[in-house]
Chain A
């Protein structure tokens, strides 16, 4: 378990985070420059926070108040760098020997052989890093970080710049590590797919703070605020006016994109208020004609994707159509615009923070 309260100030940037993570994979997600890697570096000991406290299980790694600041080498952190950071002048085996240095001689040899085998690197043990492929380097850097039994694993954008196959392989390895080792794994990324593939918990970063946290599916179901919906991407974010409320029926009437539609039960609002709502593109559907909760719009852009076709109508109105449904509507005429159905259940009330920015 890692408990971290970190405060670090630079000119024009301040990192201020406070979180606790248990064993399992926690993803630090957010845009570049939000302080994700800085958090990792503070935990590993590469940067010293201005104030705060970092604990690993029952050990204090850093405590500004008590003037404790363990050197990097005593923090038992396995750190995997974006560039892999394998020692270029050593063979793969020598890289592992360096890392396993503290183990007794016999144990060391056994462990190295075991690790090489486990990461499918045995045939390449005598090679230098520049003679290894991308995937081998990646496995080697993970193997090196794990060989000395670290008590936490820190991964800095490990999938950055990898092709699809290597990413899948990385996901498999991280998943294996999660199952086999009971240690906290912190993974920095700005890739949503990585979040969903690996995380049991996501911390969403923006401008040096954590703006939201939770299991990835919960975040997808309810991003909580317009800001988080915007950061995560993949959400339609709307501002609507409350026309009527029916708490008995658990419904509402909303003026959204110029049409009056049925909405979900809304909390803490009155008639005439403006609310922020979000819906995911795959929850909206294209329909052939008018009807309740259907609005008409003109297509701005159609993007072909592997599993679906994305239709952008502007005004933050994006619809993801499954390929099968798309094929079914082939040939239907779209004169005078398309009809889109917004099911009331797809609309989720979120806080209006940063709405202006998100609807731009």
Chain B
């Protein structure tokens, strides 16, 4: 058997978590701190990937990023290779899959930060960016870290959207979740078993870590 799908999954999950965390924190900050037109729309859009079936999400991604879409064409003319059915596409699918979780948790985390501390920082001459980096985010670091851990687990386990947009190319875009499905389909019980065990152990460790992060926050408060 090959461990390639597991390594690929971990690689995809690390990058996708970083992307969804960056985007998610930004969206969460906007939703908490800014009144703007389209706020409700942003709120709904960032929740949608959670509610939609992953295959539907994958279909939309194909439409938006596929070789006939303008993004897909722009990418292809810039890099010389299509975006879909690559590891990059798998990263996009996973990041999008994890985004609602990051936005929701980060929003709750940022809302729980003592308003007075942020106001104090502003009155001391800090810009919004500095308030966020030096005060809000450090004060919300535990719940945000917990959200990142869960987002990582979610990235690790994405199946539907990844299959739709990155495909199932063994050795190239076949992530662990897809490889398990393939292995079961083709009767390769050993591969399926070991991948399942590996994914389970990693996910369990992450959930444990996330819970600890959450718990220590509540006891400190």
Residues of A within 8 A of B (CB): 44-46, 71-79, 81-83, 85-89, 98-99, 101-102, 144-145, 148
Contacts and interface: CB of A to CB of B under 8 A. Distances in A.
Contacts of B127: 73
24 contacts: A44-B123, A45-B123, A46-B122, A72-B123, A75-B123, A76-B125, A78-B123, A81-B120, A83-B114, A83-B116, A85-B120, A86-B117, A86-B120, A87-B117, A87-B121, A87-B134, A87-B139, A89-B138, A89-B141, A101-B124, A101-B125, A144-B120, A145-B124, A148-B124
Nearest to B134: A98
Given A71-B122, A72-B119, A73-B125, 11 more contacts: A45-B123, A72-B123, A73-B126, A81-B116, A85-B119, A88-B117, A101-B124, A102-B125, A145-B124, A148-B124, A148-B125
Nearest to A144: B124
A73 B117 contact: no
A86 B118 CA distance: 10
A281 to B, nearest CB: 38
- List 6 tightest A-B contacts by C-beta distance, closest first: A85-B116, A72-B122, A85-B120, A79-B123, A99-B124, A81-B116
Contacts of A71: 122
Given A73-B126, A73-B127, A85-B114, A46 B139 contact: no
Contacts of B141: 89
A72 B126 CA distance: 9
A89 B139 contact: yes
Contacts of A82: 116
Please classify how large the interface on chain B is, using the bins under 10, 10 to 19, 20 to 34, 35 or more: 10 to 19
B116 A98 contact: no
**By CB atoms of chain A within 10 A, which of B120, B121, B127, B135 has the most?**
B120
A217 to B, nearest CB: 32
A88 B123 contact: no
Given A83-B114, A85-B114, A98-B134, A73 B122 contact: yes
A75 B141 CA distance: 29
B119 A98 contact: no
Interface in B115-157: 116-117, 119-127, 134-135, 138-139, 141
B137 to A, nearest CB: 10
A77 B114 CA distance: 19
B123 A98 contact: no
Interface of B: 114, 116-117, 119-127, 134-135, 138-139, 141
Nearest to B141: A89
**By CB atoms of chain B within 10 A, which of A76, A78, A99, A145 has the most?**
A99
Given A85-B114, A87-B135, A87-B139, A79 B125 contact: no
A303 to B, nearest CB: 37
A76 B123 CA distance: 7
A261 B14 CA distance: 89
A99 B117 CA distance: 12
A98 B138 contact: no
Contacts of A72: 119, 122-123
B125 A46 contact: no
Contact of A101 (B116, B122, B126): B126
A73 B123 contact: yes
Nearest to B119: A46
A98 B121 contact: yes
Nearest to A76: B125
Contacts of A44: 119, 123
A98 B113 CA distance: 18
A310 to B, nearest CB: 38
A44 B114 CA distance: 17
A81 B119 contact: yes
A144 B123 CA distance: 11
Nearest to B137: A89
Contacts of B123: 44-45, 72-73, 75, 77-79, 145
Nearest to A71: B122
A144 B126 CA distance: 13
Contacts of A144: 120, 124
A277 B197 CA distance: 87
Nearest to B131: A73
B135 A79 contact: no
A98 B139 CA distance: 15
Nearest to A102: B125
A82 B116 CA distance: 9
Contacts of B122: 45-46, 71-73
Contacts of A98: 121, 124, 126, 134
Nearest to B138: A89
B115 to A, nearest CB: 9
Contacts of A88: 117, 139
Nearest to B120: A85
A267 B26 CA distance: 67
Contacts of B121: 87, 98
A86 B126 CA distance: 15
A129 to B, nearest CB: 10
A76 B117 CA distance: 17
B35 to A, nearest CB: 11
